[in-house]
């Protein structure tokens, strides 16, 4: 068994696609119209056949309170591995990304948390 798909709820799929590709560096994998929305996934360019991230519309009534509660408590909706948190923090901050947590060392991991502009906090993590 392996994970092939996970998702983040986004308030605007076009805005999310721009952020996740142009800023974070993922690449679009799938785009299929589904009514007014799309089945829209991105993947790491380092593993194009790996786990897909679904940029899922947040229109369901339960999603907004859920997203607001997570963000309000500072809880990331997802965590992405990077080779160097500090370098990625500097690169993303230079692109105007807002961080809610600067790089923080805890035992064998370094993390930082950013705002994805679509209603989510996202953690980047470096495992040593």
Q: How far is CA 22 from the centre of its chain?
A: 12
What percent of the chain has a predicted confidence (pLDDT) above 90?
A: 99
What pLDDT was estimated at residue 128? 87
Interior angle at CA 36, CA 97 and CA 75, nearest 5: 35
> Hey, what domains does the chain have and what are their CATH numbers?
1-59 (3.10.180.10), 67-128 (3.10.180.10)
Interior CA angle at 29 toward 114 and 116, to 5°? Answer: 15
Q: What's the rounded mean pLDDT across residues 91-101?
A: 98
DSSP 72: H
Residues 10-34 pLDDT 10s: 999 999 999 999 999 999 999 999 9
Alpha helix ranges (H) inside the chain: 13-18, 63-72, 85-94
Q: What is the pLDDT of residues 99-119, one digit of tens each?
A: 999 999 999 999 999 999 999
pTM over 0.85, yes/no: yes
Q: In angstroms, rounded to a whole number, what is the distance separating the alpha carbons of residues 49 and 1?
A: 16
- The position carrying tokens 């994805």 is 116
**How far is residue 13 CA from its own chain's centroid?**
13
Four-residue CA torsion sign, 17, 10, 37, 43: positive
Give the tens place of pLDDT for each residue, 31-44. 999 999 999 999 99
Per residue in 78-91, is it b (16+ CB within 10 Å) or e — as a string? Answer: eebebeebeebbee
């Amino acid at each position: 068994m392996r994970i092939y798909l996970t998702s983040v709820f986004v308030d605007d799929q076009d805005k999310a696609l721009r952020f996740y590709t142009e800023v974070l560096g993922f690449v679009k994998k799938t785009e299929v119209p589904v009514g007014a929305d799309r089945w829209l996934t991105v993947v790491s360019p380092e593993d194009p056949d790996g786990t897909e991230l679904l940029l899922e519309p947040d229109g369901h009534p339960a999603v907004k309170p859920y997203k607001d509660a997570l963000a309000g408590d500072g809880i990331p909706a997802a965590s992405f591995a990077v080779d160097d948190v500090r370098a990625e923090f500097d690169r993303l901050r230079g692109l105007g990304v807002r961080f809610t947590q600067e790089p923080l060392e805890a035992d064998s991991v370094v993390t930082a948390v950013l705002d994805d502009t679509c209603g989510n906090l996202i953690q980047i993590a470096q495992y040593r």
